[in-house]
Amino acid sequence: MLSYTSGTTGNPKGVKLTHKMLLGTAYAVKNRFGGTIDENDSYLSYLPSAHVFEQAAFNISVVYGMKIGFYSGNVLAITTDLALLKPTLFPSVPRLLNSIYGKIKDKLNKEEGIKKNIIDAAIDAKTKNLAAGKGLNNFLYDSLVFNKIKEILGGNVKFVLSGSAPISSEVLNFLKICFGCDVLQGYGMTETSGGTVMTEPGDPTSGSIGGPV
């Protein structure tokens, strides 16, 4: 197939990708996820199919029998699609993740009184646990604060994968504690059929793009 580059270094170019290259990506990425992708998983297809990130996600889903939900066609209504599908994987890009981050922060900052005190305590406790490598979940604070936030992605997401451009550590760490799941960052090129390097699930640090897949 021909997959088009983003054009960040000039005009977009059509890159020839083979079946073997795309299968290589599918096997490599599953290994990085710890082999936990199967027919019980699902993802929402909404990224441009002309580019390799979506092609890689789609092929991974086909190889491992994941369910694929196709979005309604309006990116601004994507939260409605997520609520219907309730995916377990959410491939995304910094532009959308930064928007989600901003909306969550704005909503939480508007709270007052005791509710605001609980929110601040919840964010502080989960941030410290993340930094100490003590996991991403806290039964008390999740039930009081974060379970409602998880519903933004449908409530079942166990991996968020950010690609295509850099994203700040502040955003990554905040989304980790909000969604209670790994928010992984990867880097690849069209010429490498997508995934080349990616962070490890369970890594409490942010600010890198991980090792080779």
Chain Cα centroid distance, residue 201: 12
pLDDT at 171: 92
Kindly state the tokens that stand for 37.
């992708």
Instruction: Tell whether the torsion through CA atoms of 130, 136, 140 and 144 is positive or negative.
Output: positive
Full-model pTM: 0.89
pLDDT at 204: 85
Residue 132 pLDDT level (bands cut at 50, 70, 90): confident
Kindly state the tokens that stand for 31.
């290994």
Structural domain including 165 reads 2-212
CATH code of the domain covering residue 47: 3.40.50.980
- Return d(Cα 14, Cα 177) in angstroms, integer: 39
The model's pLDDT over 187-208, given as tens digits with 9 standing for 90+, comes to 988 898 888 899 988 888 888 8
The model's pLDDT over 56-86, given as tens digits with 9 standing for 90+, comes to 999 999 999 999 999 999 888 898 999 999 9
The model's pLDDT over 13-51, given as tens digits with 9 standing for 90+, comes to 889 999 999 999 888 887 787 777 889 999 999 998 888
* Count of domains forming the chain: 1
Whole-Å CA distances, 185 to 101, 121, 125, 164: 16, 27, 24, 9
Mean pLDDT of the chain: 89
User: Which residue reads 């996820």 in tokens?
Assistant: 33
